[in-house]
Amino acid sequence: MAKILVTKYENQADATVCEVAYESQADLCWYETPYEQQAQGDAKWLFVDYEGQASFKIFKVKYEGQADIKAFQVKYPEQARWRNAAHKFVGKMG
C-alpha cells in the first residue's frame, strides 16, 4: 500500500517529488484514493498525517531537476502507473 506522508523537510523524506504539468513529462502517474484498502502498489496514494502510518515519505520540490520522481496526478485509478518501468523507486513505495 502506498501510504504517503508529505514531509516538512527534505532530509526526512525517502524521495523528492516534483508535480509536472503533463503526463508525458512524468515518471509516475498517481491517483489519490480516499480509502486505505484502495491504496495499492506505487501509483495509488493515500495521504497520511503521521510518520508511523506512512509506507513512503516524500518532499515536494518546485523544479524537475531537484526531483527523484516526476509525478503527474491522474483523474482515474486505471490511469495510475509508472511510465518509466526502470525507475529506481519502482516497487518501493507501497
Global pTM?
0.93
Q: 61 Cβ partners below 8 Å, 6+ apart? A: 10, 16, 17, 18, 67
Q: Residue for cell digits 497520511?
A: 48
pLDDT at 13: 98
Q: Could you tell me the pLDDT band of residue 11, with boundaries at 50, 70 and 90? A: very high
Question: For 19-67, what is each residue's pLDDT tens digit?
Answer: 999 999 999 999 999 999 999 899 999 999 999 999 999 999 999 999 9
- DSSP-derived pairing of the beta strands 69-73 and 56-60: unpaired
Q: Could you tell me the pLDDT band of residue 1, with boundaries at 50, 70 and 90? A: confident
Mean pLDDT value across residues 7-22: 98
